[in-house]
Amino acid sequence: MGRVNIRTLLKKKQQGERITMVSTYDYISAKLCQEAGIDSILVGDSLGMVFQGLDSTLPVTLEEMIYHAKAVRRGAPDLFLVVDMPFMSYQVSPEEALKNCGRVLKETGAQAVKIEGGEEIAEIAYRLIRSGIPVVGHLGFTPQHVNIFGGPKVVGKHREEEEKLKKDFKALENAGVQIIVLESVPTTLAKELTESSEAITIGIGAGKFCDGQVLVFHDLVGLYEDKKPKFVRRYVEGANIFREALKNFREDVVRGDFPSEEESYGS
Ligand code: KIV
C-alpha cells in the first residue's frame, strides 16, 4: 500500500472515513501503531510531560523532538508522520521557523510539522507551506499557551471565543493548512468547522464529528496515570499490568526462581 500521505488522508475525509492519529515518542510504540493500522503518528511535545516528567511542554527542545522523531520513523516507516515544533522554535520569525522546520523534515523523514496558534502564526504557516513544508495547525486549548490560559480549559464555549476560533481556523485555511488539530473545543463548534471546510480536523476533546481523532499512546494504553482528562479513553490498564509483571520479576529473583535452567547457558 505504500506510505500514508496527505492525499490518502484527504481522500478519507472526502469518503467520510475516519482518520486515526496517535501521539507517541519511541520506536516500539510507533511499530505497534503501524501494526495496528493507525494512519498517522504525531511526535507530540507532550513528551515533555509523559516521557520527561516535566509539568508543561515549554522546556522541550528542537534537538529532543528530532531525536524522538527519528526513532518513531524507524518504527513506523509507512505512517503519516507529523512532528510538533517546540515552544519558541517557530514564533520568533519566519526565517527561524523555516530553518527549524526545514531541519525537522530533512533529518527525521516527517511529512509535516505541527505549530500552535491561529491568525498570529498564519503568515509563518504560509511561508512554510510555500517552501514545501506542510503544516498541521493546532487550535482550541494550545498547551504552549498554558501560562496565558492558566491551565487546561475548554475553548469556544463563549461567543467571543467561538468567533475568535472561527477566525483563526479561516486564517490557517487561507494560509494553505490542510490538517488542523482541535483540542478541548465544544462538539457543536468542532462539527461546524469540520463540515464547512475541506481541511481535515483531528479532534482531542472535540467530540465525535471531527474527521479524525488523536490520543496520546501512554493515555490510551493506561500507562500515564498522573492525569486523566475527560476526553481520554483507556483501552487497557497498562500501568497495572506492567506493575504486576515487575512485582513478579522482583519476587522470582528474590526467591531464586529466576533465571531457570532453560533461561541460562550450559557449560
Ligand atoms: O503534544 C501532543 O501530544 C499533542 C496532541 C495531544 C494533539 O499536541
Mean model confidence pLDDT for the chain? 97
The 3-state DSSP class for residue 22 equals strand
pLDDT tens digits for range 145-154 = 999 999 999 9
Answer yes or no: do 198 and 248 share one domain.
no
Q: Are residues 193 and 257 in the same domain?
A: no
Residue type, 125: A
29: in domain: yes
Confidence check: pLDDT of 168 > 80: yes
Nearest protein CA to atom 4 of ligand 1, as residue: 44
Is 173 among the residues known to form the active site? no
Q: How far apart are CA 5 and CA 18, in angstroms?
A: 15
Of the listed 63, 123, 183, 192, which one is catalytic? 183
Asked if residue 1 is part of any domain, the answer here is no
Taking the C-alpha atoms of residue 48 and residue 64, their distance in angstroms, rounded to an integer, is 10
Whether 186 is covered by a domain: the verdict is yes
Same domain, yes or no, for 166 and 250? no
Domain that holds residue 259: 238-267
Mutate to test the pocket of ligand 1, among 141, 179, 183, 224 (most ligand atoms within 8 A of CB): 183
pLDDT in tens, 122-132: 999 999 999 99
Q: Which three cell numbers stand for residue 140?
A: 482550541
d(CA 258, CA 261): 9
User: Are 137 and 64 part of one and the same domain?
Assistant: yes
Residues 220 and 242 in one domain: no
How do residues 81-124 score in pLDDT, each as one tens digit? 999 999 999 999 999 999 999 999 999 999 999 999 999 999 99
Please tell me whether residues 223 and 247 are part of one structural domain: no
In a domain, 64, yes or no: yes
- The CB of 211 under 6 Å from ligand 1? The reply is no
Q: Looking at the predicted structure, is the pLDDT value of residue 1 above 90?
A: no
Same domain? 18 vs 115: yes
Say if residue 28 is in the same domain as residue 45. Answer: yes
45 C-beta closer than 6 A to ligand 1 = yes
243 and 137: one domain? no
Q: Give which of 229, 195, 225 is closest to 214, Cα–Cα.
A: 229
pLDDT of residue 84: 98
Q: What angle do CA 180, 185, 190 make, to 5 degrees?
A: 60
Tell me the C-alpha distance between 185 and 214, whole Å: 14
Tell how far the Cα of 47 is from the centroid of ligand 1, in angstroms.
9
The pairs formed by 154-163 with CB atoms below 8 angstroms and a separation of 24 or more are 154/184, 154/185, 154/186, 154/205, 155/183, 155/184, 155/185, 156/185, 156/186, 156/189, 157/186, 162/189
Q: Residue 162, Cα to own-chain centre: how many angstroms? A: 23
The ligand 1 atom at the shortest distance from the C-alpha of residue 116 is 8
Task: Give this prediction's pTM.
Answer: 0.97
Does residue 17 form part of some domain? yes
Q: Can you tell me the distance from the alpha carbon of 52 to that of 59, in angstroms, rounded to the nearest whole number?
A: 10
Output the domain CATH number for residue 228.
3.20.20.60
Ligand 1 neighbour 23 (Cβ under 6 A): yes
Q: Which of 38, 42, 49 to mutate to test the pocket of ligand 1 (most atoms within 8 A of CB)?
A: 42
User: Looking at residue 56, what is its pLDDT?
Assistant: 97
Structural domains of the chain, count: 2
43 Cα to the center of ligand 1, angstroms: 8
Q: Whose CA is nearest to atom 2 of ligand 1?
A: 44
Distance 13 CA to ligand 1 centre (A): 21
Looking at the fold, whether 212 and 135 belong to one and the same domain comes out as yes
Do 23 and 101 share a structural domain? yes
254 shares a domain with 141: no
215 Cα nearest atom in ligand 1: 6
Reported confidence tier of residue 217, pLDDT bands at 50, 70, 90:
very high
19 inside domain: yes
